[in-house]
Structure 1
């Protein structure tokens, strides 16, 4: 008995340890993306030259690289180009979400556009070289762009712009520091009419009181319109939609007015801290699902020899493209429904709120063989994951024989009455002629 109890205690203890270990693994799995030591991060290198016509041409070269987080002096973890991101007040990992498998990382060179100035932080040099690291969530949760500052050796001074890039070999280790990050958690937005979405834009810089300029612009049909701007140097702002007080904490999100058709376009959030300029494009599209209805109920009973106009209405949808089809199939379904070809369509009707409507109709002249079939209107639209279907069952009945006899009897009586009065009229006419 004592041995059995000891074994049970050991089993429960072992089970508890395993459970705790699994829980710890689960917690670490959830938070591991914030503590990740490295990420595969393709380096899109550039080879820039001036062609014979005097124009600048750029060839992009995709090279294997990794993003490694650590300290100055760390050895590379992989035999590839390694961007070693050392500690600073900006840590891009704190903004990451999801699993490592859902992250797509890409590093590029960054040109300051000929601006030569020292980044206002200890250790920065006039000849610093810049790179951008962009991490995208493959399911569209966020896009993060980080500016990486690299101080080359003294022999590399002067190699600082796109015509004189710093040479990067296949197994080089480039020690960098994250200077600024710009991110959005709304990489694309799809909403309905009269909504007030919040377009997220956030930034962080590795030093206090940066000389920052924040702007929002709307690009629509090839034209850009400024919606908002703010300069921390002057303290002045133009436009609306952004809480100016929140900018000091790095929040530059934009609140839209109730959406309408003219709200569609690409919204651009940009943050400039000289000599760095970061921006994110946020496309916004409008979408409204159609409301579908039929002009008959779920069952239509019709007498042989009569006809019925069937109308399927799709109303209040946006954008314009919609597809309406009528088909029929035996009750209970069929793998090969018969699509009707005698369907007519109205024109698209535009409503005041910017949505559209469309009707699809046909004239039903059924035979007795059509009875028992199910007729369905199917509406497809980009706002729908699956088409909307509205159906009715058809019942065709023969004319009532009793009513037919009644109609014949009434017709005969009516003819007799007409004949009687006609004969009476003729008799009076003949009597009148005899008098004269």
Structure 2
């Protein structure tokens, strides 16, 4: 836990977050929830936030309960929060909490509001939390309720170039006021640059939903009526380009609360793989060049390997160390191309040898192979080659003989 937004600044401190009413959410039963056992002796130095959700349902909350079974870690951070129009030290106190599942899943940003201590028959003063100076419950917890939450059920998404994608974002609020303005802003940040791509200020009237809309990217939309009535703040992006990749920030403001959620968008395009030759036949002892072309892929991470397997071999043999790579070529659409070259010798690659170019890339679900088989030379072409070789040899001999005869004639005339 750390200080934030005008609250008292202090070092990070280990804290515990206890969700008390998750069983009130859909599809959750008490049998799924591990009961929380507070410390036997309350300690003023402990930071234990006990959350109740009296009227807010957290979507996909069961993922938090199943995190251990799915070998996922729940990452949580809590800071002080000051609502709009409130004083820094006013009561009730507010906190903002970020809860994420590592490796994918639900991501939450919660606004917590402290509750009054439960009534007791004792006249003793409640134990005060040493760092926050706030009263603790009899079990030593800081009682709070969730009054505002912004969430994403898909905080990271991968989509191909040219497709349409929905960036999931939503919010819930306790005791929202009918007709109250809801503000939604989507921003993109990538490689140090950021810009606003959509801004909506929506309100529900007696007949429909009014809105003020700003859009900075063609094919971008969010639904104002879904935002106001259902808390759906999702963003639609159509006809994705490489330049759409980045970190998207969904910021929702309603009443005195405003917070945000982050969605990562990764763009991909699998490489199109071709070989420079459809057939490979050695007519003589001259090595031949074979190229493997990887066309228009994204992102840049691509790996090319070469293998050969002669008819007499049981396993493929790697030829990657004998290959060379061209530099990456970037196209106007942001995709890349690359070629790998290999020189093959006939003595090491007899007819029937299978040559394989194997490509791996994040956009490929499995390794992609391009293969060809070394063919047998055409006997007629070999005969023609030998014939022309012999003709060249005979012509060379005749030329040498004529030169010698001319030299002899010139010598006799001189005498």
TM-score normalized by the length of structure 2 = 0.71
User: Would you say how many aligned residue pairs link Structure 1 and Structure 2?
Assistant: 361
In structure 1, which of residues 227, 232, 238 is the aligned counterpart of residue 214 of structure 2?
A: 238
Shift of 1:60: 1.6
Shift of 1:378: 2.0
The answer to whether the 8 A contact 2:349-2:374 is kept is no
SS at match of 1:236: strand
In structure 1, which of residues 136, 146, 169 is the aligned counterpart of residue 110 of structure 2?
A: 146
Cα gap change, 1:170 to 1:192, in 2 (>3 Å): farther
Cα gap change, 1:82 to 1:394, in 2 (>3 Å): same
SS at match of 2:66: helix
Q: Distance in 2 between matches of 1:224 and 1:187?
A: 19
Q: 1:10 matched to which residue of 2?
A: none
- Is 1:127 the counterpart of 2:91 in the alignment? yes
Q: 2:100 matched to which residue of 1?
A: 136
Q: Distance in 1 between matches of 2:376 and 2:281?
A: 6
Shift of 1:61: 1.9
Q: 1:226 matched to which residue of 2?
A: 196
Q: Distance in 2 between matches of 1:238 and 1:415?
A: 83
Q: 1:27 matched to which residue of 2?
A: none
5 Å-filtered alignment, 1:97-108, equals 97-98=62-63, 100-102=65-67, 104=74, 106=76, 108=78
Superposition RMSD in Å? 4.4
Q: Tell me which moved more, 77-86 or 179-188.
A: 77-86
Q: 1:195 matched to which residue of 2?
A: 163
**Structure 2 gap segments, 5+ residues each:** 25-34, 40-47, 119-123, 204-209, 410-415
Cα gap change, 1:279 to 1:334, in 2 (>3 Å): farther
In structure 1, which of residues 66, 85, 94 is the aligned counterpart of residue 52 of structure 2?
A: 85
The answer to whether the 8 A contact 2:252-2:259 is kept is yes
Q: Distance in 2 between matches of 1:366 and 1:170?
A: 85
The answer to whether the 8 A contact 2:310-2:349 is kept is no
Q: Distance in 1 between matches of 2:13 and 2:137?
A: 13
Q: Distance in 2 between matches of 1:412 and 1:359?
A: 40
Q: Distance in 1 between matches of 2:15 and 2:138?
A: 8
Shift of 1:324: 2.0
Max radius of gyration: which structure? Answer: 1
SS at match of 2:364: coil
5 Å-filtered alignment, 1:32-431, equals 45-46=1-2, 58-69=10-21, 77-80=36-39, 81=48, 83-88=50-55, 90-92=56-58, 94-98=59-63, 100-102=65-67, 104=74, 106=76, 108-112=78-82, 115-116=85-86, 127-153=91-117, 164=132, 166=134, 171-207=139-175, 208-209=177-178, 210-232=180-202, 235-239=211-215, 241-249=221-229, 250-297=231-278, 300-331=280-311, 337-367=317-347, 370-395=350-375
Q: Distance in 1 between matches of 2:131 and 2:49?
A: 23
The answer to whether the 8 A contact 2:3-2:10 is kept is yes
Cα gap change, 1:280 to 1:402, in 2 (>3 Å): closer
**Structure 1 gap segments, 5+ residues each:** 1-44, 51-55, 118-124, 430-436
The answer to whether the 8 A contact 2:117-2:135 is kept is no
The answer to whether the 8 A contact 1:287-1:319 is kept is yes
SS at match of 1:259: coil
Cα gap change, 1:63 to 1:405, in 2 (>3 Å): closer
Cα gap change, 1:399 to 1:235, in 2 (>3 Å): closer
TM-score normalized by the length of structure 1 = 0.68
